[in-house]
Chains A and B, each alone.
Chain A
Amino acid sequence: MIFRAIRELREAGVLGMNGRNAGFILTSNARSRYPSADDKVLTKRLALEHQVPTPPLYHVVEHHGDIVGFEERLHEHPEFVLKPARGSGGNGIVLIKDRTKAGFVKQSGEVIPLAEFAYHISGILSGIYSLGGQEDKAIFEALIYPDPVFAAVTHVGVPDIRVIVYRGVPVMGMVRLPTKDSDGKANLHQGAIGAGIEIGSGTTLTAVHRSRVITHHPDTGNQVSGIQVPHWGKMLLMAARAFDMTGLGYLGIDMIIDKDRGPLLLELNARPGLAIQLANRAGLRERLERVEKAPPEVFDKPEARVGWAVETFKNRDA
């Protein structure tokens, strides 16, 4: 029975954890290239060089000595996001929408006095939110207003779009929609839902919620499939360029769609999860192997890679 199940998974071209780690991450991602994905400041700089848009960067605080007067540097930007450069899982992020005499006004309306805000920055620098506990940087960047396209299937929070790129070729995508369960975070482990995206057309497919396939959002009750993701072609190109930026062969690219600025690169992940397969109801291994067999000229330019991916992976279920 076990052997039959394993054979059926193999038939479906599913990629397992061991296959991903030993077969793709260890062989495609050089350890020395990891900082380009882990450090958001470095990611932003590389993105700038490769014409990949990211949320505008207002200010970076690297040392405790630089905290003093940080608010001067931000006086042109009443609304901004503060985040740790090496943070993960959304920890340590503060969204500020206004400034008053009393201090900074959070999105929730709560006011943080300047001194307390400076203390929070100091915490980020000391590595409270950085997993390894190493020293970190504090990033100030533009506040994002998400495009309303996913409003009907989002509880609270900002949905983001994840694309897996192998050797620069986008192979699979999904949009992660926060739920009440996930506390507004776009993290599948915490209960967000992931809806697969058809690579050719950029429309959403069915979704996965806690490793179960669903068709409707658990909180809003609206259908998650059939939503046209705006700027899809542009996003595929951004994802493809992320490979040129980092040199990481197996990469997860997280993007958000700002209603004014369009798609922006949020962060990169050198060990993207495998749940995307459930969201797309398709195996990754099958697609990765097709990339490996692609003609060499495909890999010359990001545009060529996107074109090849759209041709190869489109219309699967349509």
Chain B
Amino acid sequence: MKRSVIIFAVILFFIPVSVISYRVFVLRYPFFPVAFGKIWHVSMEARVVAKEKEIAVEMGLPANYGGRRVMGEKVTSGTLDFNFFNEAPNRFGYWAGRVDIGDSQTISYQASVLVRSRKPREKPPALEPYPAGIEEKEQALAERLVAAWKGLSPPERLHAVANAASGEWGAAPPASSDLQEWAALREKYGPRMAFLILFWAADLPARIVEGLLLDDTITQDFHSWLEVWTGKKWESLSLETGNIYGGPSKLLPLVIGGYPPLIITGGKITEMRWTISHRMQDYWRLHFEHVRGSSRLLDRLSLFHLPAEFQQAFRILLLVPIAALIVSILRNVVGFPTFGIFMPVLMALAFRNTGLYYGLGIFTGIMLLGYLLRLGVDKLQLLLVPRLSMILTFVILALSFAALLGSKFDVKSVMAVGLLPIVILTMTIERFFILIEEAGLREAVRTVLGSAAVASISYWIINQEPIQFIFYFYPELLFGVAGLQLLLGRYTGFRLSEIFRFRELRRPS
């Protein structure tokens, strides 16, 4: 390899290494800006109507506990005073003040909560005694019911008890007299408490949790579930079905231990609304706030200073060079045939609107249609530009027709074709046709498949939010991408496909 190429590449690699080092070690940027986990934006808005001269609202709010981190909190309280108070592991917001009777106040709370997919280790909780009021003979009944499972490991015991809650007692069901008494107990304390009693009897610490389901949703109610200690961690169970919630990242606890999540004195809440959304945007906003406050040159040069409506475009744009790099690798190192360099990249960008499967479907459909059309007009021997224009017109007609069909069957993805791929598709049809003429159908089909594969791989890569974020955060990484592209430009080794092509020439040493 040429010396100058290597020197140039080393310089290109040096730029991101030094800039990122500076950012990390001097400006204290996070080394890996994407936390492993998801950020949820949680916001609550409620209207409180006073019935007395003094009102107070006490509400459970997200706390830094169990792998969750609460950031960027904002509270409004109208004319009321607001305070946080901690009662580990819980944290409450307390709105209070003197008002006129009948007066209504709007209070709100919002925060970003980072939910890591792995929970941190916790100390095992002490096994609590039965709550007061549960009679001895009821305790004895519960203990008789779970006696068969005493020898099981905690997770197995958890499953056995959870199944029992929905009436499945497994291989050795208890005596029918016990079952009758159990039904009476459930009647007396309600299914929740009965459930808890059963866990306590089985020596599994359990607690009721009030909180929110983490889903892109708007809700007016808190959700409650059960947490059971299995010896290593708290497992979350549905109170209704006893099913275990998949993964800890689906729930946001607000109040742990069975306390009410909301207490109002002197008034009532007429409207309360929780809005929960998962947005990558929150990563963006979080760092944006940090960067905006800084006067450092590198911070001022950050892409976070772009107006928000342009940021989205740049998030994608910064990944196009990576897609182009992938194309170079797949073409020059692997030997995938593709139509040009940019066609697969642009296809990948178009797939962002349509989704991969519809995108590939539209691509195939249009290619077939275009090919037939091109075959039809070939006899007419049209000039290049009018010929391409005509195919373009038909591509647009076909896309419009597909959109109409999509609207009829309510498939939005088909309607979402942007302007981008149309011209590219037209050029591709032309090149596909020429390739069939010059190199035969096999080669042409291989090229179509190669292009589709490269487009799919590129699509997958540019759709990775963490990669988008890292490049947006550290755009200097593009110099490194350019360095790789430079090195690939002087790659003179074999393509993997040539191992097959020239297999007859191989000379075993």
Question: Which residues does A use to contact B, with CB under 8 Å?
Answer: 2, 5-12, 14, 16-19, 22-23, 88-89, 91, 123, 126-128, 131, 133, 187, 189-191, 208, 211-213, 277-278, 281-283
Q: Is the beta-carbon distance between B505 and A19 smaller than 8 angstroms?
A: no
Q: Which of B491, B505, B508 contacts A277 (CB 8 A)?
A: B505
Sample (29) of A-B pairs whose CB atoms are under 8 Å apart:
A2-B496, A2-B499, A5-B503, A5-B506, A6-B493, A6-B494, A8-B507, A9-B499, A10-B494, A12-B505, A14-B498, A16-B493, A16-B495, A16-B502, A18-B332, A18-B493, A19-B492, A19-B494, A88-B438, A89-B438, A123-B381, A126-B383, A128-B382, A187-B438, A189-B438, A277-B505, A278-B502, A278-B505, A283-B505
Q: A128 CA to B384 CA in the complex, in Å?
A: 6
Q: Is the beta-carbon distance between B505 and A91 smaller than 8 angstroms?
A: no
Question: Which residues does B use to contact A, with CB under 8 Å?
Answer: 332, 335, 381-385, 434, 437-440, 443, 489-496, 498-499, 501-509
Q: A74 CA to B258 CA in the complex, in Å?
A: 104
Residue of B nearest to A16 (CB): B494
Additional A-B contacts beyond A19-B492, A189-B443 (9; CB < 8 A): A8-B508, A9-B494, A9-B498, A189-B439, A211-B504, A212-B504, A213-B504, A277-B505, A281-B504
Q: Which of B382, B434, B490, B502 contacts A9 (CB 8 A)?
A: B502
Q: Is the beta-carbon distance between A22 and B489 smaller than 8 angstroms?
A: yes
Residue of A nearest to B333 (CB): A18
Q: A191 CA to B507 CA in the complex, in Å?
A: 26
Q: How near does chain A come to B163, taking the closest CB pair, in angstroms?
A: 51
Q: How near does chain B come to A254, taking the closest CB pair, in angstroms?
A: 15
Q: How near does chain B come to A266, taking the closest CB pair, in angstroms?
A: 17
Given A18-B493, A190-B438, residue A8 in contact with residue B501 (CB < 8 A): no
The 8 closest A-B pairs by CB, nearest first: A133-B384, A12-B507, A8-B506, A189-B439, A16-B494, A19-B492, A5-B499, A89-B438
Chain B residues within an 8 Å CB radius of A9: 494, 498-499, 502, 505-506
Chain B residues within an 8 Å CB radius of A128: 381-384
Given A133-B384, A278-B505, residue A18 in contact with residue B492 (CB < 8 A): yes
Q: A114 CA to B496 CA in the complex, in Å?
A: 52
Q: A191 CA to B439 CA in the complex, in Å?
A: 9
Given A16-B495, A18-B493, residue A127 in contact with residue B383 (CB < 8 A): yes
Q: A127 CA to B386 CA in the complex, in Å?
A: 12
Chain A residues within an 8 Å CB radius of B438: 88-89, 187, 189-190
Given A18-B491, A22-B491, A278-B502, residue A11 in contact with residue B509 (CB < 8 A): yes
For chains A and B in complex, what number of residue pairs have CB atoms within 8 angstroms?
Answer: 95
Q: How near does chain A come to B390, taking the closest CB pair, in angstroms?
A: 14
Q: A8 CA to B434 CA in the complex, in Å?
A: 35
Given A88-B438, A89-B437, residue A16 in contact with residue B498 (CB < 8 A): yes
Q: Which of A8, A127, A213 contacts B509 (CB 8 A)?
A: A8
Chain B residues within an 8 Å CB radius of A12: 502, 505-507
Chain B residues within an 8 Å CB radius of A281: 504-505
Q: Which of B382, B491, B502, B508 contacts A14 (CB 8 A)?
A: B502
Q: Is the beta-carbon distance between B504 and A278 smaller than 8 angstroms?
A: yes
Q: Which of A11, A16, A126, A190 contacts B507 (CB 8 A)?
A: A11
Q: Is the beta-carbon distance between B502 and A277 smaller than 8 angstroms?
A: yes
Q: A282 CA to B504 CA in the complex, in Å?
A: 10
Q: Is the beta-carbon distance between B384 and A17 smaller than 8 angstroms?
A: no
Chain A residues within an 8 Å CB radius of B492: 16, 18-19, 22-23
Q: How near does chain A come to B466, taking the closest CB pair, in angstroms?
A: 30
Q: Is the beta-carbon distance between A17 and B383 smaller than 8 angstroms?
A: no
Chain B residues within an 8 Å CB radius of A23: 492
Chain A residues within an 8 Å CB radius of B496: 2
Q: A63 CA to B502 CA in the complex, in Å?
A: 45
Residue of A nearest to B440 (CB): A190
Q: A12 CA to B434 CA in the complex, in Å?
A: 34
Chain B residues within an 8 Å CB radius of A7: 509
Q: A213 CA to B493 CA in the complex, in Å?
A: 24
Q: A2 CA to B494 CA in the complex, in Å?
A: 11
Q: How near does chain A come to B333, taking the closest CB pair, in angstroms?
A: 8
Q: How near does chain A come to B119, taking the closest CB pair, in angstroms?
A: 42
Q: A187 CA to B440 CA in the complex, in Å?
A: 10
Q: Is the beta-carbon distance between B440 and A6 smaller than 8 angstroms?
A: no
Residue of B nearest to A206 (CB): B504
Q: A71 CA to B502 CA in the complex, in Å?
A: 49
Chain B residues within an 8 Å CB radius of A131: 434
Chain A residues within an 8 Å CB radius of B506: 5, 8-9, 11-12
Chain B residues within an 8 Å CB radius of A10: 494
Q: Is the beta-carbon distance between A127 and B384 smaller than 8 angstroms?
A: yes
Q: How near does chain B come to A174, taking the closest CB pair, in angstroms?
A: 14
Residue of A nearest to B385 (CB): A133
Chain A residues within an 8 Å CB radius of B443: 189
Chain B residues within an 8 Å CB radius of A5: 499, 503, 506
Q: Is the beta-carbon distance between B490 and A22 smaller than 8 angstroms?
A: yes
